[in-house]
């Protein structure tokens, strides 16, 4: 697409030389433009150093490659008598693909940054899974300890029921031993529960610190 500007003025001199299109000051999104013009029949023409075929009416045309930004297109005419003439126009090439490439580069940078964030998040999730596995192991150990304590309590109750005719000293001694075992088991269970609670508090505090660190 070419945005037209003021038409090019005819070059004074002999032979008369005109650039008819594009208009000087035009802006195009194409990497080349078709330059057309007119000269005195029988004269020769070159554009930017390239010889152009001139028809019997003096009309000529040539496609000229453009660099990004302003481009000067110069026409040169001469005849067999040695007379010559020059004229030129300016055409600006607006390379929209360069803008698209820049936008694409920015998008790729954002994708790479997002991918890095995803990798970090995946690493954090892997660490959390490992911590949860440790916590579940501790919970299972707590459950086993509680089950063992319940079993010991049932055994203690059965022993106390069976020793109803025994002497108080035997019952008391047996009861104290069982009570000591029960207290030990309960202590182990409470210890596992404390470890689990420490893990939960630690993970909550870590999540809070990470959230504060991400705030601008």
Along the 216 residues of the chain, how does pLDDT read in single tens digits?
Answer: 333 334 444 555 678 999 999 999 999 999 999 999 999 999 999 999 999 999 999 999 999 999 999 999 999 999 988 899 999 999 999 988 666 666 666 766 777 778 778 878 888 888 888 888 888 888 888 888 888 888 888 888 888 888 765 544 444 445 555 556 666 666 666 665 666 666 656 665 666 566 556 555
| Dihedral pair phi/psi, residue 13, rounded to 5° | 115, -170
Contact of 92 with 70, CB cutoff 8 Å: yes
Cis peptide before 15 (omega within 30 of 0): yes
Per-residue confidence (pLDDT) for residue 186, from 0 to 100: 62
Q: Which of 108, 79, 74, 106 is nearest to 90 (CA)?
A: 74
Q: Which of 46, 94, 50, 90 is nearest to 71 (CA)?
A: 90
Per-residue confidence (pLDDT) for residue 6, from 0 to 100: 41
Strand, helix or coil for residue 69 = strand
Per-residue confidence (pLDDT) for residue 213, from 0 to 100: 60
pTM of the model: 0.45
DSSP state of 17: E
Q: Kindly give the residue spans of alpha helices, DSSP state H, lying in the chain.
A: 96-162, 168-214
Per-residue confidence (pLDDT) for residue 200, from 0 to 100: 58
Q: Residues 6 or more apart from 77 whose CB is under 8 A from it? A: 15, 17, 39, 40, 43, 44, 45, 84, 85, 86
Contact of 5 with 24, CB cutoff 8 Å: yes
């Amino acid at each position: 697409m070419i945005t037209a500007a003021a038409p090019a003025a005819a070059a004074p001199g002999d032979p008369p030389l005109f650039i008819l299109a594009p208009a000087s000051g035009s802006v195009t999104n194409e990497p080349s433009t078709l330059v057309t013009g007119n000269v005195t029949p029988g004269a020769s023409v070159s554009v930017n150093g390239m010889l152009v075929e001139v028809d019997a009416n003096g009309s000529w045309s040539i496609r000229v490659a453009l660099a990004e930004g302003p481009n000067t297109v110069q026409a040169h005419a001469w005849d067999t008598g040695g007379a010559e003439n020059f004229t030129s126009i300016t055409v600006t090439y607006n390379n929209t693909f360069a803008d698209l490439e820049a936008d694409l580069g920015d998008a790729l940078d954002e994708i790479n940054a997002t991918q890095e964030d995803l990798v970090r998040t995946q690493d954090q999730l892997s660490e959390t899974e490992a911590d949860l596995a440790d916590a579940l192991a501790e919970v299972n150990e707590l459950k086993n300890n509680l089950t063992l304590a319940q079993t010991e309590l049932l055994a203690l109750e059965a022993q106390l029921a069976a020793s109803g005719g025994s002497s108080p000293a035997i019952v008391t001694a047996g009861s104290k031993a069982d009570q000591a075992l029960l207290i030990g088991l309960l202590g182990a269970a409470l210890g596992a529960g404390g470890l689990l609670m420490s893990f939960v508090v630690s993970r909550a505090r870590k999540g809070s610190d990470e959230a504060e660190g991400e705030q601008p």
